[in-house]
Structure 1
Amino acid sequence: MRTTRLYAYRLPAGRFRPIGEPQPHAHVSTGPVEPLGPPEPVGDLIECHAAAGIQLRLLDNLWPFWDQVITSTVGFSGIRLRNARPRPEPASP
Structure 2
Amino acid sequence: MYYHFSEEPGIRRFKPRPSAAFPHYPPVVFAIDEEHAAHYFFPRDCPRVIYWKADSTTEEDLNAFFSHTAAAKIIAVENGWLERIRSTKLYVYTFAEESFECFDGTAGYYISTSEVAPLNVEPVGDLLKKLLGRRVELTFTPSLHPIRDKVVASTVDFSIIRFRNARKQD
- Indicate the TM-score class for this superposition, using the shorter chain for normalisation: 0.7 to 0.9
Aligned-partner Cα distance in 2 for 1:42–1:60? 26
The correspondence for 1:36, drawn from 119, 123, 128, is 119
Distance 1:2 1:40 in 2: 18
Unaligned runs of 5+ in 1: 89-93
Residues matched between the structures, number: 85
Whichever residue aligns with residue 119 of structure 2, its letter is L
Q: Larger Cα Rg: Structure 1 or Structure 2?
A: 1
TM-score (norm 1): 0.77
- The secondary structure found in structure 1 opposite 2:87 is coil
In structure 2, relative to structure 1, the CA distance for the partners of 1:79 and 1:48 (3 Å cut) is closer
Taking the aligned partners of 1:19 and 1:87, their CA distance within structure 2 comes to 31
Shift of residue 3 of structure 1? 3.1
Q: What is the alpha-carbon distance in structure 2 between the residues aligned to residue 33 and residue 7 of structure 1?
A: 16
- Mind listing any 5+ residue stretches in structure 2 that lack a counterpart? 1-84
Query: How far did residue 2 of structure 1 move?
Result: 2.7
Query: Does the C-alpha gap of structure 1 residues 84 and 73 become closer, same or farther in structure 2, counting only changes over 3 Å?
Result: same
Q: CA RMSD in A?
A: 1.7
Alignment equivalent of 1:68, drawn from 135, 150, 162 = 150
Quick check: which one's strand share is greater? Answer: 2
Contact 2:143 2:166 in 1 (8 A): no
Distance in 2, matches of 1:30 and 1:14, equals 12
Query: Which residue of structure 1 aligns with residue 21 of structure 2?
Result: none
TM-score (norm 2): 0.45
SS at match of 1:13: coil
Query: Structure 1 runs of 4+ off > 3 angstroms?
Result: none
Give the corresponding residue for 1:91: none
* Aligned residue identity for 1:71: A
- Select 1:56's aligned residue among 113, 138, 149: 138
Distance 1:80 1:2 in 2: 18
Is 1:14 aligned with 2:98? yes
- Counterpart of 2:169 in structure 1 is 87
The structure with higher relative contact order (CA 8 Å, sep 6+) is 2
Q: In 2 relative to 1, CA 46–79 (structure 1 residues): closer, same or farther, beyond 3 Å?
A: closer
